[in-house]
Amino acid sequence: MMWDDPSDKEKDEMITNVAETIYKYDMDLFAILILESIKPLASVGGQLTRFMVAPFIPFIGDKSMPYLATFQNKENVERLIRILEDKGQEDQRKAAEARKNKKQGGGWRRYVPWLTGKEG
Protein backbone atom coordinates (compact mmCIF):
# COMPACT_ATOMS: atom_id res chain seq x y z
CA MET A 1 0.00 0.00 0.00
CA MET A 2 1.18 3.53 -0.64
CA TRP A 3 1.35 4.57 3.04
CA ASP A 4 3.51 1.62 4.11
CA ASP A 5 7.08 2.28 5.16
CA PRO A 6 9.75 0.85 2.86
CA SER A 7 12.05 -1.93 4.08
CA ASP A 8 15.55 -1.17 5.37
CA LYS A 9 17.11 -2.31 2.10
CA GLU A 10 14.82 -0.04 0.09
CA LYS A 11 15.61 2.87 2.41
CA ASP A 12 19.35 2.31 1.94
CA GLU A 13 18.91 2.25 -1.85
CA MET A 14 16.81 5.43 -1.80
CA ILE A 15 19.29 7.29 0.39
CA THR A 16 22.19 6.20 -1.82
CA ASN A 17 20.35 7.16 -5.01
CA VAL A 18 19.43 10.58 -3.65
CA ALA A 19 23.03 11.17 -2.51
CA GLU A 20 24.42 10.17 -5.91
CA THR A 21 21.96 12.43 -7.71
CA ILE A 22 22.79 15.39 -5.48
CA TYR A 23 26.50 14.77 -5.91
CA LYS A 24 26.17 14.26 -9.67
CA TYR A 25 24.80 17.78 -10.05
CA ASP A 26 27.42 19.19 -7.66
CA MET A 27 24.79 20.37 -5.18
CA ASP A 28 26.28 18.64 -2.17
CA LEU A 29 27.22 21.74 -0.15
CA PHE A 30 23.86 23.38 -0.75
CA ALA A 31 22.03 20.13 0.06
CA ILE A 32 23.97 19.71 3.32
CA LEU A 33 23.07 23.27 4.33
CA ILE A 34 19.37 22.75 3.59
CA LEU A 35 19.24 19.27 5.16
CA GLU A 36 20.93 20.48 8.35
CA SER A 37 18.40 23.32 8.51
CA ILE A 38 15.32 21.16 8.08
CA LYS A 39 16.47 18.10 10.02
CA PRO A 40 14.79 19.12 13.31
CA LEU A 41 11.44 19.48 11.53
CA ALA A 42 11.71 16.40 9.29
CA SER A 43 9.01 14.39 11.04
CA VAL A 44 6.57 17.31 11.25
CA GLY A 45 7.21 18.21 7.62
CA GLY A 46 6.71 14.61 6.53
CA GLN A 47 3.35 14.36 8.26
CA LEU A 48 2.23 17.74 6.95
CA THR A 49 3.27 16.78 3.43
CA ARG A 50 1.31 13.53 3.65
CA PHE A 51 -1.74 15.53 4.68
CA MET A 52 -1.33 18.14 1.93
CA VAL A 53 -0.39 15.73 -0.88
CA ALA A 54 -3.00 13.03 -0.16
CA PRO A 55 -5.77 14.53 -2.37
CA PHE A 56 -3.37 14.73 -5.33
CA ILE A 57 -2.03 11.14 -5.16
CA PRO A 58 -4.32 9.87 -7.94
CA PHE A 59 -2.95 12.57 -10.26
CA ILE A 60 0.77 12.49 -9.45
CA GLY A 61 1.16 8.79 -8.65
CA ASP A 62 2.43 7.17 -5.50
CA LYS A 63 6.11 6.80 -6.44
CA SER A 64 7.13 9.62 -4.11
CA MET A 65 5.54 8.11 -1.00
CA PRO A 66 8.45 5.78 -0.14
CA TYR A 67 10.84 8.76 -0.32
CA LEU A 68 8.54 10.78 1.89
CA ALA A 69 8.34 7.94 4.41
CA THR A 70 12.12 7.54 4.37
CA PHE A 71 13.11 11.18 4.80
CA GLN A 72 10.57 12.04 7.48
CA ASN A 73 12.89 10.14 9.83
CA LYS A 74 15.71 12.32 11.22
CA GLU A 75 18.18 9.41 11.28
CA ASN A 76 17.77 8.89 7.53
CA VAL A 77 18.32 12.59 6.87
CA GLU A 78 21.48 12.39 8.99
CA ARG A 79 22.65 9.34 7.00
CA LEU A 80 22.19 11.29 3.76
CA ILE A 81 24.20 14.19 5.17
CA ARG A 82 27.00 11.83 6.26
CA ILE A 83 27.14 10.20 2.82
CA LEU A 84 27.39 13.61 1.13
CA GLU A 85 30.10 14.77 3.55
CA ASP A 86 32.10 11.56 3.05
CA LYS A 87 31.95 11.93 -0.74
CA GLY A 88 33.09 15.54 -0.46
CA GLN A 89 36.02 14.63 1.78
CA GLU A 90 37.03 11.82 -0.56
CA ASP A 91 37.05 14.21 -3.53
CA GLN A 92 39.11 16.75 -1.58
CA ARG A 93 41.62 14.05 -0.70
CA LYS A 94 41.86 12.93 -4.34
CA ALA A 95 42.30 16.52 -5.54
CA ALA A 96 45.06 17.16 -2.98
CA GLU A 97 46.78 13.95 -4.02
CA ALA A 98 46.51 14.91 -7.70
CA ARG A 99 48.01 18.35 -6.98
CA LYS A 100 50.82 16.72 -5.06
CA ASN A 101 51.61 14.31 -7.88
CA LYS A 102 51.29 16.93 -10.60
CA LYS A 103 54.52 17.81 -12.33
CA GLN A 104 55.76 21.27 -11.43
CA GLY A 105 57.23 23.60 -14.04
CA GLY A 106 57.21 21.29 -17.02
CA GLY A 107 57.97 22.24 -20.60
CA TRP A 108 59.95 25.19 -21.88
CA ARG A 109 58.76 27.55 -19.13
CA ARG A 110 61.22 26.13 -16.63
CA TYR A 111 64.08 27.57 -18.76
CA VAL A 112 62.62 31.10 -18.81
CA PRO A 113 61.26 31.76 -15.32
CA TRP A 114 61.04 35.54 -15.83
CA LEU A 115 58.11 34.97 -18.25
CA THR A 116 56.10 33.01 -15.73
CA GLY A 117 56.85 35.15 -12.69
CA LYS A 118 58.32 32.19 -10.82
CA GLU A 119 61.91 33.20 -10.43
CA GLY A 120 64.04 31.39 -8.00
- Is pLDDT above 90 for 80? yes
If DSSP codes are grouped into helix, strand and coil, which group holds residue 5? Answer: coil
Over the stretch 91-115, which tens digit does the pLDDT of each residue have? 999 988 888 777 555 566 666 667 6
82 belongs to a structural domain: yes
Domain span at residue 79 reads 8-102
How many Å separate Cα 104 from the centre of its chain? Answer: 34
The predicted-structure confidence for 11-64, as pLDDT tens digits, reads as follows: 999 999 999 999 999 999 999 999 999 999 888 888 888 888 878 877 877 777
Asked if residue 29 belongs to a domain, the reply is: yes
The residues, ordered by sequence, that sit 6+ positions from 85 with a Cβ below 8 Å of its Cβ are: 32
Question: What does pTM read for this prediction?
Answer: 0.76
Q: Is 2 among the domain residues?
A: no
Specify the pLDDT at position 109: 63
What is the rounded distance in angstroms from the CA atom of residue 81 to the CA atom of residue 87? 10
The alpha carbon of 30 is separated from its chain's Cα centroid by a whole number of angstroms, namely: 9
Task: Give the C-alpha separation, 93 to 114, whole Å.
Answer: 33
